[in-house]
């Protein structure tokens, strides 16, 4: 059975989890960050190479100011508290998104953590922060145009493979499996380019309730799917 090499997760449902318990939304986010720890460790132990977590979207900047501030504080706390554990477990932390928009202190903490875990090679934990798929593609196009001005692009042509190198995910494989919790069935501007052939898995479970067992269930379903990449089933089964 093949294990997904790259799993991506839209961690959704923290607010509803809190509302069901008459708690403030931030309490849902706090519990959600505990789930992050559990799922990171589960993926690491299974041997998943890349785990991308959608932690904060570009659109999330439009949430109430106090919720955004609480999420930023939680992110900073997570990075500082989990550094040692990441290093101990050989996890490298990287990020994608327009991170320059993060508050200065959070960005600095992110950069420090990326640097401190740089040489770890058991798993890549990739946080999507201030991330939007369309924004990522347009930033890549603008980077290409800049190079064009420098005369680096030959014959005004760029291939799919070359273009991918300008995306935030440069060097990472595309996600094999994308999980979204909380019953929503939409992409919400996540990994638009990279998910061309990703298998989607939707679950009603709210993110704070999502556990190692739920993850295993998602992986098992993934393993039962036939990825045809446009071909026929017969083509895949020639011996
Ligand atoms: C996901 O939970 C966390 C972030 C988007 C930061 P939500 O906060 O979106 O939870 P719901 O969708 O309101 O339940
Ligand atoms: C997507 O969740 C973003 C993250 C999980 C970080 P949202 O809760 O923001 O998505 P929509 O707006 O309901 O689609
Ligand atoms: Mg939501």
**Closest residue to atom 12 of ligand 1, CA basis:** 13
pLDDT category of residue 44 using cuts at 50, 70 and 90: very high
Surrounding ion ligand 3 within 5 Å at CB are: 12
| Distance separating alpha carbons of residues 208 and 227, to the nearest angstrom | 30
Domain of 212: which CATH number? 3.40.1180.10
Average pLDDT, the chain: 96
pLDDT reading at 239 higher than 90:
no
Asked which of 135-139, 156-160, 186-190 is least confident by mean pLDDT, the reply is 156-160
Residue 148 has pLDDT above 80, yes or no: no
> Is 208 within a domain?
yes
**Of residues 122, 131, 126, 67, the one with CA closest to residue 99:** 131
| pLDDT value of position 91 | 99
Q: What is the C-alpha separation between 187 and 51, in angstroms, rounded?
A: 17
Burial of 3 (0-12, 13-18, 19+ CB in 10 A): middle
pLDDT digits (tens, 9 = 90+) for 176-205: 999 999 999 999 999 999 999 999 999 999
Integer Cα distance of 198 and 65 in angstroms: 34
Span from the CA of 171 to the centroid of ligand 2 (angstroms):
26
* 207 CA to centre of ligand 3 in angstroms: 10
From CA 108, how far away is CA 123, in angstroms rounded?
22
For 156, half-sphere exposure in the C-beta direction (CA atoms, 13 angstrom radius) is 0
Is position 168 within any domain? no
What was the pLDDT predicted at 149? Answer: 72
Please report whether residue 238 resides in a domain. Answer: no
Ligand 1 contact via 12 beta carbon (within 6 Å): yes
Answer whether residue 29 is part of any domain: yes
pLDDT tens per residue, range 74-89: 999 999 999 999 999 9
Torsion sign, CA atoms 118, 5, 213, 218: positive
Average pLDDT over residues 201-227: 98
Rg (CA), the chain: 19
Q: How far apart, in Å, are the Cα atoms of 1 and each of 31, 200, 219, 226?
A: 32, 18, 10, 12
Residues 166 and 144: their CA atoms lie apart, in Å, by 7
Please say if 60 is a catalytic residue. Answer: yes
Is residue 143 included in any domain, yes or no? no
What is the residue range of 222's domain? 6-132+173-226
* Mean pLDDT of all residues in 54-76: 98
- The reply to whether ligand 1 has any atom less than 6 angstroms from the CB of 63 is no
Query: What pLDDT does residue 69 have?
Result: 98
pLDDT at position 154 is 72
In a domain, 57, yes or no: yes
> Could you give the number of structural domains in the chain?
1
Residue 189 lies in a domain: yes
Residue 150 lies in a domain: no
Band of residue 137 on the pLDDT scale cut at 50, 70, 90: very high
Band the pLDDT of 144: cuts 50, 70, 90: very high
Write the residue with the smallest CA distance to atom 7 of ligand 2.
Answer: 12
**Sheet hosting strand 50-57, strand order edge to edge:** 91-96, 123-131, 50-57, 6-10, 177-180, 199-202
Residue-wise pLDDT for 12-25, tens only, equals: 999 999 999 999 99
């Amino acid at each position: 059975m093949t294990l997904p090499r790259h799993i991506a997760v839209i961690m959704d449902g923290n607010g509803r989890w809190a509302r069901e318990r008459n708690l403030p939304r931030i309490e849902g986010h706090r519990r959600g960050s505990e789930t992050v720890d559990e799922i990171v460790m589960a993926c690491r132990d299974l041997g998943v190479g890349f785990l991308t977590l959608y932690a904060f979207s570009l659109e999330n900047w439009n949430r109430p100011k106090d919720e955004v501030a609480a999420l930023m504080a939680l992110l900073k706390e997570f990075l500082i508290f989990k550094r040692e554990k990441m290093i101990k477990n050989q996890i490298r932390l990287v990020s994608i998104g327009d991170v320059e928009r993060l508050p200065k202190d959070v960005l600095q903490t992110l950069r420090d953590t990326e640097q401190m875990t740089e040489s770890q090679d058991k798993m890549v934990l990739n946080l999507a922060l201030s991330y939007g798929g369309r924004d990522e593609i347009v930033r890549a196009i603008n980077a290409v145009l800049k190079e064009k001005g420098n005369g680096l692009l030959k014959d005004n042509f760029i291939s799919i493979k070359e273009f991918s190198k300008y995306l935030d995910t440069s060097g990472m494989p595309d996600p094999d499996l994308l999980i979204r919790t909380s019953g929503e069935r939409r992409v919400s501007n996540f990994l638009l380019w990279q998910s061309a052939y990703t298998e989607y898995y939707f679950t009603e479970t709210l993110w704070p309730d999502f556990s190692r067992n739920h993850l295993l269930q998602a992986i098992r379903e993934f393993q039962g799917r036939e990825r045809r990449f446009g071909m026929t089933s017969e083509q895949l089964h020639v011996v």
